[in-house]
Chain A
Amino acid sequence: MGVADVLKEGPGKAFMLCNEAIVRGALEADVKIVSAYPGSPTTEILDTFSEISPKFDYRMEISTNEKVAIETCAGASMVGMRSMTSMKSVGMNVASDSFFSLSYTGVKGGMVIVMADDPQAHSSQTEQDGRPFGPNSYTPMLEPSDPEEAKRMVRAAFALSEKYGVPVLLRTTTRVNHQSGIVSLEKMDRKPFAKLAWDHPPGRFVTVAESARNFKHALLERTKKIEEEFEASEFNRIVDAGSDVGIIASGAGYNYAVDAAKILGIKPSILKLGTTYPLPKELIAGFLKKLKTVIIVEELSPYLELYVTAIAKDANPAVKIYGKWSGHFSEALEYNPNLVVEGLAKALGLKMPVEYGAILAKAKELKAGLPDRWPTFCPGCPHRATLHALLDATRGMKHILSTDIGCYSMSFLDPLRYGDSLLSMGACLGVAAGMQYAAQEKVIAMIGDSTFWHAGMPGLVNAIHHGDDLTLVILDNEVTAMTGQQPNPGRDYNAGGRAAKPLVLEEVIKAMGITDITIVDPYQVKAAVNPMREALTRKGPNIIISRRACALYADRNKRKRGEVIDTNKVDPEVCKRPYSCVKSFYCPAISIDDGDRKAIITKELCDRCDVCAKLCPYGSIKRREGE
Chain B
Amino acid sequence: MSQKEFSVYMSGVGGQGLVLLSNIIGAACAASGIRALTGEQHGLSQRSGSINVHMRIGEGMASPLIPIGGADAQLALEALEALRYVEYLKPGGVVMMNSRIQHPVVETAAHVKDKTAKYMSAEVVKERMSQVTDKIALIDALSIANQAGNPLTENMVMLGAISTLEAFPVPEEALKQSVRDHVPSKAVDVNLKAFDMGRKVAYDLLCNIVKCRQ
For B142, list chain A residues within 8 Å (CB): 604
B44 in contact with A123 (CB, 8 Å): yes
A259 in contact with B39 (CB, 8 Å): no
Which of A277-285, A370-378, A396-404 forms contacts with chain B?
A: A370-378
- B41 in the interface (beta carbon within 8 A): yes
- A318 in the interface (beta carbon within 8 A): no
- A520 in the interface (beta carbon within 8 A): no
Which of B109-117, B160-168, B199-207 forms contacts with chain A?
A: B109-117
- A262 in the interface (beta carbon within 8 A): yes
For B4, list chain A residues within 8 Å (CB): none
Instruction: Select A254's contact among B35, B40, B62, B108, beta carbons within 8 Å.
Output: B62
- A591 in the interface (beta carbon within 8 A): yes
Q: Which of A113-131 contact B (CB under 8 A)?
A: 122-123
Q: Mark B7-40, 1 if CB is under 8 A from A, else 0.
A: 0000001110000001100110110000111111
Instruction: Select A371's contact among B14, B42, B66, B106, beta carbons within 8 Å.
Output: B106
In the complex, how many angstroms separate the beta carbon of B74 from the nearest chain A beta carbon?
12
Given contacts A178-B42, A371-B80, A375-B49, contact A263 B108 (CB under 8 A): no
A594 in contact with B119 (CB, 8 Å): yes
- A482 in the interface (beta carbon within 8 A): yes
For A341, list chain B residues within 8 Å (CB): 67
Instruction: Select B81's contact among A262, A373, A374, beta carbons within 8 Å.
Output: A373
Instruction: Select B43's contact among A414, A483, A588, A605, beta carbons within 8 Å.
Output: A483
A588 in contact with B105 (CB, 8 Å): yes
Please, which residue of chain A has its CB at the minimum distance from the CB of B38? A180
For A259, list chain B residues within 8 Å (CB): 61-63, 67
Given contacts A123-B43, A583-B112, contact A359 B104 (CB under 8 A): no
For B129, list chain A residues within 8 Å (CB): 366
A354 in contact with B68 (CB, 8 Å): yes
- Complex formed: what's the CA distance from A591 to B112 in Å? 10
- A101 in the interface (beta carbon within 8 A): no
For A430, list chain B residues within 8 Å (CB): none
A378 in contact with B47 (CB, 8 Å): yes
| Size range of the chain B interface in the assembly | 35 or more
In the complex, how many angstroms separate the beta carbon of B48 from the nearest chain A beta carbon?
5
Please, which residue of chain B has its CB at the minimum distance from the CB of A38? B43
Given contacts A338-B68, A356-B69, contact A373 B38 (CB under 8 A): no
Please, which residue of chain B has its CB at the minimum distance from the CB of A588? B48
In the complex, how many angstroms separate the beta carbon of B188 from the nearest chain A beta carbon?
15
- Complex formed: what's the CA distance from A376 to B102 in Å? 13
B68 in contact with A179 (CB, 8 Å): no
- B177 in the interface (beta carbon within 8 A): no
Q: Mark A580-609, 1 if CB is under 8 A from B, else 0.
A: 001100111011101001000010110000
- Complex formed: what's the CA distance from A145 to B63 in Å? 9
- A256 in the interface (beta carbon within 8 A): yes
- Complex formed: what's the CA distance from A180 to B37 in Å? 5
Given contacts A15-B30, A337-B63, A375-B49, contact A179 B39 (CB under 8 A): yes
Q: Mark B84-98, 1 if CB is under 8 A from A, else 0.
A: 101100000000000
- A175 in the interface (beta carbon within 8 A): yes
- Complex formed: what's the CA distance from A263 to B69 in Å? 12
Given contacts A375-B14, A376-B49, contact A582 B102 (CB under 8 A): no
- Complex formed: what's the CA distance from A371 to B50 in Å? 11
- Complex formed: what's the CA distance from A105 to B38 in Å? 40
- Complex formed: what's the CA distance from A579 to B39 in Å? 40
For A371, list chain B residues within 8 Å (CB): 80, 103-104, 106-107, 110, 120
In the complex, how many angstroms separate the beta carbon of A399 from the nearest chain B beta carbon?
23
- B123 in the interface (beta carbon within 8 A): no
- B182 in the interface (beta carbon within 8 A): yes
A179 in contact with B30 (CB, 8 Å): no
Given contacts A341-B67, A582-B109, contact A13 B48 (CB under 8 A): no
- A572 in the interface (beta carbon within 8 A): no
- B132 in the interface (beta carbon within 8 A): yes
B132 in contact with A366 (CB, 8 Å): yes
Please, which residue of chain B has its CB at the minimum distance from the CB of A360? B87
For A336, list chain B residues within 8 Å (CB): 63, 65, 67
Please, which residue of chain B has its CB at the minimum distance from the CB of A178? B40
In the complex, how many angstroms separate the beta carbon of B183 from the nearest chain A beta carbon?
11
In the complex, how many angstroms separate the beta carbon of B140 from the nearest chain A beta carbon?
14
A-B contact pairs, 16 of them (CB 8 A): A40-B42, A180-B26, A180-B36, A256-B62, A337-B66, A338-B67, A354-B68, A359-B87, A373-B50, A373-B84, A375-B45, A376-B47, A407-B47, A414-B106, A582-B109, A592-B111
Known: A259-B62, A586-B108. 7 other contacts (CB 8 A): A145-B62, A258-B62, A259-B67, A363-B86, A372-B106, A373-B48, A375-B45
Q: Which residues of B contact A (CB under 8 A)?
A: 13-15, 22-23, 26-27, 29-30, 35-50, 60-70, 80-81, 83-84, 86-87, 102-112, 115, 118-120, 128-129, 131-132, 142, 151, 181-182
